[in-house]
Amino acid sequence: MTIFTSNTSINKPINEVYGFLADFNNHQKLMPENIQEWVSTVDEASFNIQNMGKLSLKIDSRISDQEITITPASKPPFNLELKWSLSFDNDHTDVLYTINADLNMMMKMLASGPLQKLADYETQQLTAILS
């Protein structure tokens, strides 16, 4: 597994950050411009990645005010797990976003940069929206 991480700190209570992330409808606001045709419910989302293909994801598990795990809802080009981990420290919520991707050597060369940029972009957007 190849792991990509990004973290941020948000001056909001943990339940507010968790509430935003626990609803997949809100995740569209975290996505870059190359994500198109977004369709979502509270638990699932499907979308097209420009020049790459369609992806369907589902929230696999929720641990209230701690963690949200997202997995593919249909067969992806490679195994994938997305995880939002939250912790509260005094007056702010620390957020760690992790993308675990099972990439072969060729896919690793092609996808590592875009996946790290995606992780960083999503945490930056989360901070901008909730600040």
Per-residue model confidence as pLDDT tens digits over 44-71:
999 998 777 789 999 999 999 999 999 9
pLDDT at 49: 83
Q: What digits encode the pLDDT tens for the residues 2-41?
A: 999 999 999 999 999 999 999 999 999 999 998 999 999 9
108 has a pLDDT exceeding 80: yes
pLDDT of residue 86: 98
CATH superfamily to which 2-130 belongs = START domain (3.30.530.20)
Instruction: Give me the residue spans of the domains in the chain.
Output: 2-130
* 126 has pLDDT over 80: yes
Task: Put residue 8 in one of left, alpha, beta given phi > 0 → left and psi -120 to 50 → alpha.
Answer: beta
Strand order in the sheet with 67-72: 2-10, 92-101, 80-89, 67-72, 53-63, 44-49, 35-40
pLDDT at residue 124 in the model: 98
Which pLDDT value is given to residue 101? 94
What integer pLDDT is reported at residue 111 of this predicted model? 87
How high is the pLDDT of residue 110? 87
